Amino acid sequence: MNFSYKWLLLIPVLLVAIGLGLLIPRLLSDDTEELGIVSEGSLSAEAEARVAEILAQIEDYEKLLEASPGDVGILMPLAGSYYELAKVEEQYQQTNDSFRHFKSAVDYYRQALELQPENDAIRLSLALSYSGLRMGDVALREIESLSVSDLESLGTNDTSLLIDAGLLYQEEYSRAAEAEILLVKATTLEPENQRAWLSLGFVRRSAGKTSEANAALEKVIAIDPTSDYAQAAQEYLTQAQQ
């Protein structure tokens, strides 16, 4: 069975689609083999390999942190590795492990934020990790400390962070303006990133920006019309015209 990590990356987008009432039969299929899911709570062979890679990264970063305590340059990728691991586990309903690793991400992001309290990228990453722990109120508190201008000047080249944060703003807090800022930044950093454009299209549609939303969705299709992202975009465009 071939497992594609694009399914892991697409999960937040699917949540947006569900929230907007979008039906994407193929992407929301109950056929778990098509999605690479062996059974509830189990990982495919390739997913297990990715988990092993992340755990090896974590081990390396933790050794580096022992040698250089308080180094934000180590704390950030260490926290990010725990966050990525938790997201993979969350996809496969491994709830206990997922929560444990989201908690580790929170702990390391908090350490980094204590050292650099003005670092908005760390605060945004911390909010995402709190959201993973289903601590929406705490995540909101972190987000509310960030102004629109803070988001516009956010110092990060992490496209995945920008997309996840944009979807968090929209899905959890219905803040389309802030979500759009983050997603536009993501598309600027990676103009060929279909997930970024698809997310931007959904967010703009929810804000009533129909023509701009359609343009973003058409961009998804133009980048690679054969991808699952393109199929989702086309499905949405078709339904919007009905």
Q: What's residue 38's pLDDT?
A: 38
The number of domains in the chain is: 1
One-character DSSP codes across 172-214: HH--HHHHHHHHHHHHHH-TT-HHHHHHHHHHHHHTT-HHHHH
Q: 149 CB contacts (<8 Å, ≥6 apart)?
A: none
Residues 205, 208: Cα–Cα separation, whole Å: 5
pLDDT exceeds 50 at position 51: yes
Reported for 143-147, long-range contacts at CB under 8 A and 24+ positions apart, including other chains, are 143/168, 143/169, 143/173, 146/120
Q: Is residue 99 part of a domain?
A: yes
Here the CATH number for the domain that contains residue 190 is: 1.25.40.10
22: left (phi over 0), alpha (psi -120 to 50) or beta: beta
Q: Is residue 2 part of a domain?
A: no
pTM, to two decimals: 0.77
Q: Is residue 35 part of a domain?
A: no
Cα 147 off chain centre by: 21
Domain that holds residue 117: 12-28+40-241
pLDDT exceeds 90 at position 79: yes
Torsion of CA 23, 24, 28, 29, to 10 degrees: 110
Cα 20 off chain centre by: 18
pLDDT digits (tens, 9 = 90+) for 96-118: 999 999 999 999 999 999 999 99
pLDDT exceeds 90 at position 126: yes
